[in-house]
Amino acid sequence: MNVALYTHAACLAHQPGPGHPESPSRLQAVLQALDDERFAALDRREAPRATRAQLARVHDAALIERILAAAPKDGYVRLDADTAMSPDSLEAALRAAGAVCAAVDAVIDGDATRAFCAVRPPGHHATRTTAMGFCLFNNIAAGAALALSKGLQRVAIVDFDVHHGNGTQDIFWSEPRVLYASTHQSPLYPGTGAAAETGVGNIVNAPLPPSASSFAFREACNDIVLPALHRFRPELVLISAGFDAHYLDPLANLNLGNEDYLWITRELVGIAQTYASNRVVSSLEGGYSLTALRESTAAHVAALMT
């Protein structure tokens, strides 16, 4: 089992502003968790930059140009109330999207079995036309589109971040070769993700009410998400791995624990073993308690390695 870990020092340099919850300490906590003898077997790789062609599969040219031009020489540029760029943000965003694309290449070409991308900024709120919700480019979407370009016909994206991945849903709304399945708190930012939002039958939303328990999360997965994956029979499983549904997280109100991330990751690995030649690529999304990030990431990556 060759499990690759993609990251880059540039992802630590992105600064969205003083006091911003999406801080470099998040990635530091993740890397600290993986700097442990339990993870010595990880194949550690430097994330490349995403190419313009990779980004253009999921973003309009106007958005790409806006992000490329917006990076300041000093200080900060605010793209919206939540999303900002510092001088190092463009490089971080290119490496984050590039990590997922490199990981998808690796698992499809047989150079790795599974992969985890320890990167920031996150991506799942970035739509085809808009950077938002701390996200500049949609990392997981770029990886999914690359997989389609390489000939795969069924790519599944499972998103267990506490916030709905409106950007990923937007990008693949009319693409039947991509299944997007999300569990998330509702109501909560960004206000999308109702069960009735189904695209062309390829969108599966399982919203959870505030204060929902581990039991409710597992019930939604067992009743809605996992059956959809079995019906779809994916050739590749991608994971938007946000850990902000954890009970310690300060930005939301769900009550998941580390063992829930271990459980769902094992379930998704099982799906990949059955249908996808073991191929799984996971990428970090949200998670704003450093304690929860360390512990949940360790559980998640341990499951990817089994």
- For 189, other C-beta atoms within 10 Å of its C-beta total 17
CATH number at 3-304: 3.40.800.20
Mean pLDDT by 10 residues, the chain (306 residues): 96 96 98 98 98 98 97 94 97 98 98 98 98 98 99 99 99 99 98 98 98 98 98 99 98 98 98 98 98 98 97
Question: CA-to-CA distance for 22 and 160, rounded, in angstroms?
Answer: 18
Tokens of 9: 């020092």
Amino acid 1: pLDDT: 81
Rg of the Cα atoms in the chain? 17
Give the SS3 label for residue 280: strand
Residue 113 is predicted with a pLDDT of: 98
Taking the C-alpha atoms of residue 265 and residue 249, their distance in angstroms, rounded to an integer, is: 19
Tell me which residues are annotated as active site: 125
Report field, pTM of the whole predicted structure over 0.95: yes
The pLDDT score that the predictor gives to residue 147 is: 99
With residue 205 as reference, give the H or E element that holds it: strand 203-208
Residue 44, amino acid = R
Parallel, antiparallel, or unpaired for β 77-78 and 84-85?
A: antiparallel
Give me the DSSP letters along 231-258. HH--SEEEEEE--TTBTT-TT----B-H
Q: Note whether 283 and 117 are within 8 A (CB).
A: yes
Query: Contact at 8 Å (CB) between 4 and 103?
Result: yes
State the Cα–Cα distance between residues 145 and 126, nearest whole angstrom.
15
Cα angle vertex 243, ends 264, 143, to 5°?
75
Residue 165 contacts residue 159 (beta carbons within 8 Å):
yes
List the chain domain ranges: 3-304
